[in-house]
Structure 1
């Protein structure tokens, strides 16, 4: 690809938009919440505990409800996730993360629409949601989980 002045201008403008996002209040709130979360020992313990249970959950999911530990692990995952989500630091981080994602989605949508109405851009925090239905059947229902 041969670099043209138009191409260089587009790269410069995109870099400028990136810098604006990095300097935004939303990004500052996100970085602050992340720092507080990273430094909180209780929140980190809850996150590690949930990650450990979730790893076991993913092993059990391959067999679905036929796995002998299925019902036990389902209760543990919900319990540990609730414990983690109820932590003030985790909740504040998730809110900041969602706000940042919304900003990035809006910028992507604006750029996409400025090129063409036909261009698709992420909406409603699609990057933060999984595509599965969460049915727990291990994909037997045909969902993407």
Structure 2
């Protein structure tokens, strides 16, 4: 059994025996429970619906082309003659994608899974110590064209 040095909250160190195999087994069981949750099932359903949607596929291709054009314009900054129109085109396609019901539902399901994972992480961290920081996704949004991970078929949406 491996031995781990542990620092208490007051900074004193001690030696604690920790069975990593048992801990990892519990972590995998927790992962399995999360994967069997209604939130993950909903997320996977809408992810597949988005992936199969022909309108999303078409708009995703347009989005990629618009992003490439905007990326070219960005190299020269806002003084590029097409900078603003290229930027507006990207935003317009993002709005169109956001109006598709499957995309709306996918984003909502993605947020629900993200919230669940954050809550689980926070609970684990707080069970160890109140001072452990848990990274969250406040200020980040996922899905198509929002700067998060885009699972709508258009690749990485930057």
Give the TM-score normalised by the residue count of structure 2. Answer: 0.73
Task: List runs of 5+ in structure 2 lacking aligned partners.
Answer: 4-16, 148-157
Alignment of 1:1-145 (within 5 A): 2=2, 6-125=19-138, 128=141
Q: Which has the larger radius of gyration?
A: 2
CA displacement at 1:61 relative to structure 2:
2.3
Q: Cα RMSD (Å) of the superposition?
A: 2.4
> How far has the Cα of 1:27 moved from its partner?
0.2
Count of residue correspondences: 131
Structure 1 spans left out of the alignment, 5+ residues: 131-144
More strand by share: 2
Distance in 2 separating the partners of 1:121 and 1:55: 35
The alpha carbon displacement at 1:98 in A equals 0.9
In 2: Cα distance, 1:33 partner to 1:47 partner: 16
Question: For residues 40-89 of structure 1, what are the alpha-carbon distances to aligned partners after superposition, in whole Å with 9 as ceiling and x for unaligned?
Answer: 11111112211221232233223321112111112111111111111111
